[in-house]
Amino acid sequence: MDNNKYKLIGIGIVAGLVNGLFGSGGGTIVVPSLVFLLGLTDYKAHATAIPIILPLSIISVIVYLFNNKVPFDVGLFVVIGGIVGSYVGAKFLNKIPVKYLRKIFGSVIIYTAIRMIFK
């Protein structure tokens, strides 16, 4: 088996674990891993992360649904906004220069981490 296949499987295990534990993390794990460990361009890494995250999220949703952990009154409205935001974000991804894309992505991760640590 090629060395990259082991890296990809490792990235998947970590991303799946983080996604299952925290309900997020696919993008925060997958995107930097694809860029820095495998040398994908930022655009391809962001675009590739989405189909990777989908099955991870489906499995997590099934587990959370069976354990009655999903407040549908909250989730429905976030899904509506998320659909609109996903479409707009996907359309504009290639229009943002890589240096800004990295800064925005990194800033969001850092801001979120700081908020979670101190809240």
| Residue 25 banded pLDDT, cuts 50, 70, 90 | low
Total structural domains within the chain: 1
Asked if pLDDT for residue 97 goes beyond 70, the answer is: yes
pLDDT value of position 113: 87
Q: How confident is the prediction for the chain on average, in pLDDT? A: 90
Q: How far apart are the first and last CA of the chain?
A: 44
The domain of 34 spans: 3-118
pTM of the model: 0.79
Residue 18 has φ and ψ, to the nearest 5°, of -65, -40
Q: What percent of the chain has pLDDT over 90?
A: 66
pLDDT value of position 32: 93
